Structure 1
């Protein structure tokens, strides 16, 4: 396999990928009191990036690349920067694909800190210039290890001091001595703080670091330093003497610091400590210099996923991954990717809850209907006061005859009615809603079997939607939540549909001629089923989702481009979308229904759960244009 093919194969792996950058040396270091103005520019500038694609500052997922001790690659006349250059090339090429926000080096860049070693290392880091921001801090091998950050000038400071980072859009500033720095980066729709502290921080340096946190009181912070914790052979970490000093003097009293990373010691390890606010601080050691080829430029990727509430961690060597598998030596193959419990793991973090004490989450404000009706919107219903006047309080029944207005003005209003002998509680108003939903309201349906019960909202007999065929394409969206526990038998309940029999539309291919021409349903396994009988084909292409969750809101989108239909759940395309040609919907001039599906023109059970904003557009929309934006 060629190197190019090998890299393509790597792209298909379940590895987190990254990219980083080092702009060329520029202006002098920025002092703390001048930092906010520079930090304010980071959001726009960091987006542009360079190298392998555009970094997305707003999506819920990003990666932080962590590079531990590289000292054996810069060791006098036995130096070999090739592994690190390959790591940097890999990270740059994957910047956009893996949404890499930043890279941080944990110190001991070189073995002896000589001018020659430092110069070679500094030249190697130029592979990253102008691409993605990064930080480097001094380890005991980079400077005189018996000194702290007040040591004065050094070859390290000349090459890796504040001037190196000053043109980076994330660079916030450095301590007056130049050995401590910080960056402010924007990722996942918010700003984050990276502290890069010297191998031995003086009292003056600690005061500076506390000042940085005080100046940015709402930013979650990652602390990086060289000597923080050590680990036993089982990966159980505990603070070193220097780590205890940092813990007592900086970390435990500053709730912003939720992740602290160090190198220096091996083997790698991790632990969780509790700060003065009673919150978790994840403390971890990353160092692979004892591995083959001095760690071979091994990187650790921290994949932040704010949607899932996790940080996924993986460790691998791009240098070995880039090689032809058939030509890898046993040691190379052994060191490609590390999968032990301290090298590959996930951290469960409820980010909103963890950061609530210093940065309480602000829920998105409701969006007016006018802001979410793109070209081609034929119907839009919402259940706040704009769409359902005098909606009332939570739990109040929505009575028969009440009208949910079609806010497009196209005349597709929905009228409420109970099914069979259902009581008042079959349909009630609720303030619950999906976080990304424009309206902060929904309807709570209490449908079920034995006896059939429920409620529906239907268009009037002359509504334009009843006969719309959508031969140029369509997008149907809705927000749904299933109760937890999902008690009772609700198999094959309908969410939305058009009334009528597909047999009456001349269709012959389906499971039964008595099922409707278009419906979104839920199977016994909680799979979403969207079955449509197209206007122009005698077919019944059906999309199936995965088993959807209970107790959690989801956004569902059904998108047809005039040729085929694709279902999306929470902005992600599901797998089981048919390749059959599907043009339009074979409507029969009969009402559109929210809350149930007919069979043989009769309603059985109604929907069980919540339904929020629902919109129909007469063209295919991209996920970025859905009612709830996703990445």
Structure 2
């Protein structure tokens, strides 16, 4: 920040407050109209990660000028921050990093050499953007050659797959990255964008009219002591000249001023635009290399924002001095909060709906045993609501020969099994089957493997993952307690398993209790017992993804990629299959079917090893190998 650059009085007050050591007043203050309603939602979502595969994180690094200062500084906190982001990018947790400018204190050749060395430390491990701040450059983006441009000009980004291009002057750039199943546009604009720069930015938006856009710049908004942000003079120019007229821009982030703050303005299309100020150079150790993470969770309609210092986090908590511990993670309402966004509704004016549909080839791995889906790629699919004919075949798309054939139970009517276009948002196929099973009288339908299917006799001693998408109807009428979702046919007693609940149990099954709890029962090879896992009560009228994962020693059930609490602690190795068919839509007792499943089932996959949640069918772009 340049204190001679016409900063508002509030900035000078904040300097005095920081010098006086009264920063606790900021932590105690509350954010006013600028999105306070989202704070309670953020409190529930922080630290949870994304609720399904549709999420991703954008990392932001604000002003680092006091850490790259030839007069005496320490760039190690910046290195630590970059390492933290690069590591999580490699683990597909962070999609992109945006620096907000004022990389250095004076913009000299020596400081830029240091900055170059710091950023070169992460090599090609991380896609990122950098823009010029007033301590890096002076004047507007028509200034010509500078040490900054030679360090962070187009040549630096040309080798990155996310780099889209730069303005002719080289000081403004745009970047395209992927996250949550769609592409995003990020504009990195100079601290003083000229009219030429503005026209260039408008051209970029015009060339990518369907992409949601995030604008980053150095000087955008300043904030009151209570965290309420206001457009700066330059920010007003960006708002009037670029942001308000382009509905694509839904989030804009700047640095330069302190204290931090945020506000929400309404654009010309009548939609909300969130404007945030992130700058921590006034805090301990020049900001200690703070990272602000924006975790996008479309499934929850939320962006969770957190602020922390990876450099301080790297150090053992017991060794942190009080001032270090205070700054390792910031938790005020301007540093840790949530932004509520219905992404589909907010982007409806310019972006086509996101489709999670994926071909079977994208979800088949080296250990996939069977994969069934109910669209035209694997089934003779009919119109939405049309009955499924008895004898219809759902092909095993893994190629292993575990095809399923439709069988109606107890001579039930055709409507006990119908085609449906409904599906879980993250399901690879946009189709499902609607089962209308019931107890009074017993009715239903199942899809069974043939008598010679390889899966009938597999023991899975090295582990397994069985996953499916299901939805219970709302309202949930009738009695459906202990209806089966899937299972292997036969009696556990016929395999010599008499120590469990009953020798009439199926060798392995997933069912629903009267309380709508999932119950996974398996008779493994290693014990004469039935280690059983339970879930919470499943919601009505809502798709969920269920995965049963066994690592060769223990079984864990996941619902929507979250581990449930009542998982059996007893050791469990493999499944004591009897050479009898695997069935979807019901389970046997005493070797016979009673009622069938009541609800909808989608893509179902069986893998001969334990998968991580990031590999589940519900993880966008996931595979099993």
Q: What is the TM-score when the length of structure 2 is the normalising length?
A: 0.78
Q: For 1:491 and 1:448, how far apart are their aligned partners in 2?
A: 9
The answer as to 2:568 corresponding to 1:583 is no
Q: Name the SS for the 1:543 alignment partner.
A: strand
Q: Name the SS for the 1:264 alignment partner.
A: coil
Q: Structure 2 residue aligned with 1:464, among 434, 449, 452?
A: 452
Specify the alignment match of 1:222 in structure 2.
Answer: 214
Q: Taking structure 1 as reference, are residues 329 and 476 closer, same or farther at Cα in structure 2, changes over 3 Å only?
A: closer
Q: Taking structure 1 as reference, are residues 260 and 392 closer, same or farther at Cα in structure 2, changes over 3 Å only?
A: same
* Higher RCO, 1 vs 2 (CA within 8 Å, ≥6 residues apart): 2
Maintained 8 Å contact 1:469/1:584: no
Q: Name the SS for the 2:184 alignment partner.
A: strand
Specify the alignment match of 2:224 in structure 1.
Answer: 232
Specify the alignment match of 1:481 in structure 2.
Answer: 471
Q: Name the SS for the 1:468 alignment partner.
A: helix
- 1:138-197 Cα offsets, whole Å, 9 max, x none, are 2233333xx322233444334433344344443332222232222233444443222111
Q: Taking structure 1 as reference, are residues 616 and 275 closer, same or farther at Cα in structure 2, changes over 3 Å only?
A: same
Maintained 8 Å contact 2:438/2:479: yes
Instruction: Give, in angstroms, the shift of residue 137 of structure 1.
Output: 1.9
Specify the alignment match of 2:126 in structure 1.
Answer: 132
- 1:491-530 Cα offsets, whole Å, 9 max, x none, are 4332123455434543222223343332211234543221
Q: For 2:377 and 2:295, how far apart are their aligned partners in 1?
A: 40
Paired residues in the alignment total 567
Q: For 2:69 and 2:455, how far apart are their aligned partners in 1?
A: 77
Specify the alignment match of 1:26 in structure 2.
Answer: none
Q: Name the SS for the 2:468 alignment partner.
A: strand
Q: Taking structure 1 as reference, are residues 459 and 314 closer, same or farther at Cα in structure 2, changes over 3 Å only?
A: closer
Q: Taking structure 1 as reference, are residues 336 and 429 closer, same or farther at Cα in structure 2, changes over 3 Å only?
A: same
Instruction: Give, in angstroms, the shift of residue 595 of structure 1.
Output: 2.8
Q: For 1:393 and 1:107, how far apart are their aligned partners in 2?
A: 55
Q: Structure 1 residue aligned with 2:519, among 523, 529, 537?
A: 529
Q: Taking structure 1 as reference, are residues 416 and 133 closer, same or farther at Cα in structure 2, changes over 3 Å only?
A: closer
Maintained 8 Å contact 1:137/1:225: yes
Specify the alignment match of 1:72 in structure 2.
Answer: 66
The answer as to 2:56 corresponding to 1:62 is yes
Q: For 1:604 and 1:382, how far apart are their aligned partners in 2?
A: 25
Q: Structure 2 residue aligned with 1:609, among 586, 596, 599?
A: 599
The answer as to 2:392 corresponding to 1:404 is yes
* Stretches of structure 1 lacking an aligned partner (at least 5 in a row): 1-13, 18-57
The answer as to 2:538 corresponding to 1:554 is no
Q: For 2:605 and 2:160, how far apart are their aligned partners in 1?
A: 43
The answer as to 2:286 corresponding to 1:298 is no
Specify the alignment match of 2:205 in structure 1.
Answer: 213
Specify the alignment match of 2:431 in structure 1.
Answer: 441
Q: For 1:371 and 1:199, how far apart are their aligned partners in 2?
A: 43
Instruction: Give, in angstroms, the shift of residue 100 of structure 1.
Output: 2.9
Specify the alignment match of 1:177 in structure 2.
Answer: 169
The answer as to 2:431 corresponding to 1:431 is no
Maintained 8 Å contact 2:378/2:395: yes
Q: Taking structure 1 as reference, are residues 452 and 243 closer, same or farther at Cα in structure 2, changes over 3 Å only?
A: farther
Q: Name the SS for the 2:457 alignment partner.
A: coil
Maintained 8 Å contact 1:379/1:406: no
Q: Taking structure 1 as reference, are residues 415 and 263 closer, same or farther at Cα in structure 2, changes over 3 Å only?
A: closer
The answer as to 2:187 corresponding to 1:195 is yes
Maintained 8 Å contact 1:387/1:404: no
Q: For 1:371 and 1:331, how far apart are their aligned partners in 2?
A: 49
Q: For 2:523 and 2:587, how far apart are their aligned partners in 1?
A: 14
Specify the alignment match of 2:23 in structure 1.
Answer: none
Maintained 8 Å contact 1:193/1:219: yes
Instruction: Give, in angstroms, the shift of residue 388 of structure 1.
Output: 6.2
* Stretches of structure 2 lacking an aligned partner (at least 5 in a row): 1-45
CA RMSD of aligned residues (A): 3.8
Specify the alignment match of 1:88 in structure 2.
Answer: 82
Q: Taking structure 1 as reference, are residues 551 and 234 closer, same or farther at Cα in structure 2, changes over 3 Å only?
A: farther
Q: Taking structure 1 as reference, are residues 68 and 439 closer, same or farther at Cα in structure 2, changes over 3 Å only?
A: closer
Specify the alignment match of 1:455 in structure 2.
Answer: 444
Q: For 2:384 and 2:323, how far apart are their aligned partners in 1?
A: 64
The answer as to 2:96 corresponding to 1:102 is yes
Q: For 2:285 and 2:528, how far apart are their aligned partners in 1?
A: 64
Q: Name the SS for the 2:185 alignment partner.
A: strand
Maintained 8 Å contact 2:418/2:434: yes
